[in-house]
Amino acid sequence: MTVNRRFLLTARPKGVPKPADFAFVSEPLPDLAEGEILVRNAYASIDPAIRGWMDDAPSYMPPIPLGAPVRATTIGRVAASRHPDFAVGDPVMGVNGLEDYSVATAGGFTSKIDLSAVPEPTNFLSVYGAVGLTGYFGLLEVGQPKPGETVLVSGAAGAVGSVVGQIARIKGCRAVGIAGGAAKCQRLIDEFGFDAAIDYRGKDLAAMTAAIAEACPGGVDVFFDNVGGLILDATLPNINHRARLALCGMISQYNATGPVPGPTNLWFLIARVARMEGLLVSEYIDRWSEGAAEMARWIAEGKLVFREQIEEGLENALPVFLKLFEGTNDGKLILKISDL
Amino acid sequence: MTVNRRFLLTARPKGVPKPADFAFVSEPLPDLAEGEILVRNAYASIDPAIRGWMDDAPSYMPPIPLGAPVRATTIGRVAASRHPDFAVGDPVMGVNGLEDYSVATAGGFTSKIDLSAVPEPTNFLSVYGAVGLTGYFGLLEVGQPKPGETVLVSGAAGAVGSVVGQIARIKGCRAVGIAGGAAKCQRLIDEFGFDAAIDYRGKDLAAMTAAIAEACPGGVDVFFDNVGGLILDATLPNINHRARLALCGMISQYNATGPVPGPTNLWFLIARVARMEGLLVSEYIDRWSEGAAEMARWIAEGKLVFREQIEEGLENALPVFLKLFEGTNDGKLILKISDL
């Protein structure tokens, strides 16, 4: 009998998630109700956002219920179907769980994917998927960059940040990236084509503020922020009149055990008549294909490069996830659950 | 010989400004260079923003130099002119100082005003001037309120806030105001027509968050913030999807003696895909007459009421200014320096 190995959330993590917050279980395959499909998960996107879904706090998605598998976007194939639009073997992408098999419902987030559209199926979880399009729509729609402007990106060596910097360059902007450590900073310039890089490690607010000022002598017109906290605070005094700040994530505080104070320099939003705006790629779902087509063209033209780091094995879900917070991942982090 | 009494800034205030930070002096009238005009100041607008100009910190205007008069918007009459466009006796408005006479330069902020356009000349410093138009353009352009939406206003009994609430109602929105004390809250409803009022006094973050939730059961679509700090923090969990937050001022922290942490709930900007934007009325200077005309129409139709609190005497500048931070003013605070 086929079993379903599942990585369940069993407690709300306090701070950094630890093994006791989870259970790794094997269960029988579930029965399907009318309209449902069973997805054999092959690859899961390991995203910082998952940490937020583990908390019992209001957000853009409901918390992961205790006892349910950890939520993740996956690609896989239909293993069984009671839905007329999905046949066994169809490749699909959806918001599922870290488990061998997920039950998806009609009208949910699951859709069929065309594997011929991409060099590798995992690209649907990186540059062709929500991650790449978060960078695309976030920079272009929220950031509204104009040629000659300076675009500052935090988490710049990460999956979203590296895309943002490259699109900024494609659009004629100066791209400045913030990352942790000399190796990542070097990669920003050598591999992703950023004009300048800032290593945030070991810098307090004053030092970080000065480093941004040095790297952005004409000020910051667009800030694409994946990090929040001190880096956001240090950016604010460096923003230009009518700057746009796209808030994509706040990874610096996802493991905080209490309220995290916001930036001390929020006043600069008024002084510089600037705009700070939250970003969720789901807002652009009706323009998804438009964005994907342009991303595909840039990749074909060699203007956009990206990295995927594929880790193996559902049983390694927690240590793989924690790489995001240690900053030890190297490109879009993907967990392989099975062959596609 | 005519003397010029001047209220000079002599030290950068730490916290609440105190008498030792200022000097009240009498000096001879200055000579004019070619192109300059001498303004006999009659009324000065006493605004929270003046506190920011006293600090030696980057902002949208340079700090008031030590030894210079405290900067303020005034109305008055031309007392002497070496500029072809200004004749002695012309009524003018400009960014001048708390002093009997100010020297204004061509190309600066000084312009002639038409006293026949308003019921009282002081209206140029309240509803017809920067204060009223801050509310007008801030709510309509930054806030983008739609009929049926909920508009929350902090500092709602103040000069800007009371205008914002009334325009929100004119535009078909539900207006909820935050003010300090039962009397002001009652006035929000009785005099300015707000739908509901919240007394912030004695409330911590949790209580304030709950009070906003209770007064805005459908959530907050537009927040017009004059206060910052705890009130901004408490608003964030109550904002709706795609909410707009217009940051007009942060009076709660202008007298702070050190860095003030920002909102702990900044994350809600992402979760609700919301926008927070700084507001300076100077951005709308080319649409000034459009806004003033609409405000005038609403006043004539009885849809917009406003209060002015006119205090007397340049020698009282400091205690009058401090009323803003004590919350003891009652309408737009104006200092009378001389008859117009």
Residues B234 and B273 in one domain: yes
Kindly state the average pLDDT of the residues B314-327. Answer: 94
Whether residue A277 and residue B264 make contact (CB cut-off 8 A), yes or no, is no
Which residue of A259, A268, A277 is in closest CB contact with B275?
A277
Whether residue A276 and residue B280 make contact (CB cut-off 8 A), yes or no, is no
Residue A82 has what pLDDT? 95
Q: Which residues of B touch A268 (CB under 8 A)?
A: 58, 278
Kindly state the average pLDDT of the residues A232-244. Answer: 98
- The predicted model scores a pTM of 0.92
Give the number of beta-carbon pairs within 8 Å between A and B: 103
Between the alpha carbon of residue A183 and those of residues A186, A191, A330, the distances in Å are 5, 11, 11
Which residue of B228, B237, B274 is in closest CB contact with A278?
B274
Give, rounded to a whole angstrom, the gap between the first and last alpha carbons of chain A: 20
Whether residue A262 and residue B266 make contact (CB cut-off 8 A), yes or no, is yes
For the stretch B180-224, pLDDT in tens is 999 999 999 999 999 999 999 999 999 999 999 999 999 999 999
Alpha carbon of B2: minimum distance to chain A alpha carbons (Å): 38
Residues B144 and B240 in one domain: yes
Long-range contacts of B103-112 (CB under 8 A, 24+ apart): B103/B30, B103/B32, B103/B36, B103/B37, B103/B38, B103/B39, B104/B36, B104/B37, B104/B38, B104/B39, B105/B35, B105/B36, B106/B35, B106/B36, B110/B37, B110/B39, B112/B85, B112/B86
Whether residue B264 and residue A261 make contact (CB cut-off 8 A), yes or no, is yes
**Cα(B7)–Cα(B22) distance, integer angstroms:** 7
For residue B270, being part of any structural domain is answered with yes
For residue A156, being part of any structural domain is answered with yes
Chain A residue with minimum CA distance to B264:
A261
Region of residue B27 (left: phi > 0; alpha: psi -120 to 50; beta: else)? beta
Best of B61, B142, B266 to substitute, by most chain A Cβ atoms within 10 angstroms, is: B266
Residues A73 and A167 in one domain: no
DSSP A262: B
Q: Which residues of B touch A234 (CB under 8 A)?
A: none
Whether residue A272 and residue B60 make contact (CB cut-off 8 A), yes or no, is yes
Q: Is the pLDDT of residue A127 over 90?
A: no
Between the alpha carbon of residue B190 and those of residues B166, B185, B237, the distances in Å are 12, 9, 28
Residue B173 has what pLDDT? 98
Q: Which residue has the higher pLDDT, A122 or B128?
A: A122
Q: Which residue has the tokens 């294909």?
A: A289
Residue A302 has what pLDDT? 87
Residue B23 has what pLDDT? 97
Instruction: Give buried/exposed letters for A285-324 (b at 16+ CB in 10 A, else e).
Output: eeebeebbebbbebbeeeebebbbbbbeebeebbebbbeb
Kindly state the average pLDDT of the residues A131-142. Answer: 96
**Cα(A21)–Cα(A9) distance, integer angstroms:** 6
| Residue B31: band (very low, low, confident or very high) from pLDDT cuts 50, 70, 90 | very high
For residue B32, being part of any structural domain is answered with yes
**Cα(A182)–Cα(A188) distance, integer angstroms:** 10
A41, A74 Cβ separation under 8 angstroms: yes
Whether residue A280 and residue B273 make contact (CB cut-off 8 A), yes or no, is yes
Residues A109 and A147 in one domain: no
Residue B156 has what pLDDT? 96
Kindly state the average pLDDT of the residues B155-160. Answer: 93
Which residue of B260, B267, B277 is in closest CB contact with A264?
B260
Chain B residue with minimum CA distance to A259:
B264
Whether residue B270 and residue A278 make contact (CB cut-off 8 A), yes or no, is yes
Q: Is the pLDDT of residue A106 over 70?
A: no
Q: Which residues of B touch A278 (CB under 8 A)?
A: 268-275
Residues B259 and B271 in one domain: yes
Whether residue A276 and residue B260 make contact (CB cut-off 8 A), yes or no, is no
Q: Is the pLDDT of residue B98 over 70?
A: yes
Chain A residue with minimum CA distance to B242:
A278
Residues B58 and B149 in one domain: no
For residue B12, being part of any structural domain is answered with yes
For the stretch A242-300, pLDDT in tens is 999 999 999 888 888 888 999 999 999 999 999 999 999 989 988 988 998 899 889 88
Region of residue B233 (left: phi > 0; alpha: psi -120 to 50; beta: else)? alpha
Number of domains in chain B: 2
In chain A, which ranges are continuous DSSP H helix? 49-53, 130-137, 159-170, 182-190, 205-215, 229-235, 268-271, 288-300, 317-326
Q: Residue A322 maps to which CATH number?
A: 3.90.180.10
Kindly state the average pLDDT of the residues A30-59. Answer: 93
Kindly state the average pLDDT of the residues A234-249. Answer: 98
Alpha carbon of A214: minimum distance to chain B alpha carbons (Å): 17
Residue B314 has what pLDDT? 96
Residues A42 and A111 in one domain: yes
Locate the DSSP E strands across A46-144. 71-81, 91-97, 101-105, 111-112
Q: Which residue has the higher pLDDT, B2 or B77?
A: B77
Residue A288 has what pLDDT? 85
Whether residue B271 and residue A247 make contact (CB cut-off 8 A), yes or no, is no
Q: Which residue has the tokens 């007459």?
A: B289
H-helix or E-strand containing B205?
Answer: helix B205-215
The two structure tokens encoding residue A295 = 């991303």
Residues B232 and B175 in one domain: yes
In A20-96, which ranges are continuous DSSP H helix? 49-53
Q: Which residues of A touch B274 (CB under 8 A)?
A: 277-278
Which residue of B263, B270, B283 is in closest CB contact with A279?
B270
Between the alpha carbon of residue A47 and those of residues A19, A120, A212, B129, B299, the distances in Å are 18, 19, 27, 50, 54
Chain A residue with minimum CA distance to B278:
A270
Residue B130 has what pLDDT? 87
Residue A254 has what pLDDT? 86
Q: Which residues of B touch A (CB under 8 A)?
A: 58-60, 228, 233, 237, 247-250, 253, 259-280, 283
Alpha carbon of A282: minimum distance to chain B alpha carbons (Å): 10
Per DSSP, the three-state class of A104 is strand
A10, A22 Cβ separation under 8 angstroms: yes
- Percent residues over pLDDT 90 in chain B: 82
Kindly state the average pLDDT of the residues A52-73. Answer: 93
Whether residue B272 and residue A228 make contact (CB cut-off 8 A), yes or no, is no
Residues B117 and B166 in one domain: no
Alpha carbon of B272: minimum distance to chain A alpha carbons (Å): 6
For residue B295, being part of any structural domain is answered with no
For residue A148, being part of any structural domain is answered with yes
ipTM here: 0.91
Alpha carbon of B255: minimum distance to chain A alpha carbons (Å): 13
**Cα(A175)–Cα(B116) distance, integer angstroms:** 54
Residue A107 has what pLDDT? 65
Residues B112 and B156 in one domain: no
Q: Which residues of A touch B277 (CB under 8 A)?
A: 269, 273-276
Residues A213 and A261 in one domain: yes
For residue B194, being part of any structural domain is answered with yes
Kindly state the average pLDDT of the residues A22-49. Answer: 95
Residue A257 has what pLDDT? 85
| Residue B107: band (very low, low, confident or very high) from pLDDT cuts 50, 70, 90 | low
Residues 6+ apart with CB under 8 A from B107: none
DSSP A157-207: TSHHHHHHHHHHHHTT-EEEEEESSHHHHHHHHHTT--SEEEE-TT--HHH
Residue A293 has what pLDDT? 87
Between the alpha carbon of residue A187 and those of residues A152, A183, A192, A227, A251, the distances in Å are 16, 6, 7, 19, 21
Q: How many CA atoms lie within 13 A of B124 on its CB side?
A: 22
| Residue B276: band (very low, low, confident or very high) from pLDDT cuts 50, 70, 90 | very high
Closest CA to A317 of A30, A113, A27, A74: A74
Best of B273, B280, B284, B285 to substitute, by most chain A Cβ atoms within 10 angstroms, is: B273
For residue B324, being part of any structural domain is answered with yes
Q: Is the pLDDT of residue B106 over 70?
A: no
Kindly state the average pLDDT of the residues A193-207. Answer: 97
Q: Is the pLDDT of residue B309 over 90?
A: yes
Whether residue B60 and residue A276 make contact (CB cut-off 8 A), yes or no, is no
Q: Which residues of A touch B (CB under 8 A)?
A: 58-60, 228, 233, 237, 247-250, 253, 259-280, 283
Please provide the average confidence, as pLDDT, over all residues in chain B.
94
Between the alpha carbon of residue A104 and those of residues A8, A33, A76, B60, B139, the distances in Å are 17, 10, 12, 53, 44
**Cα(B92)–Cα(B110) distance, integer angstroms:** 7
**Cα(B317)–Cα(B323) distance, integer angstroms:** 10
Q: Which residues of B touch A237 (CB under 8 A)?
A: 58
For the stretch B223-233, pLDDT in tens is 999 999 999 99
Q: Residue B148 maps to which CATH number?
A: 3.40.50.720
- Domain enclosing residue B97, as ranges: 3-126+307-336
For chain A, count helices (H), then strands (E): 9, 15
Residues B20 and B57 in one domain: yes
Alpha carbon of B166: minimum distance to chain A alpha carbons (Å): 23
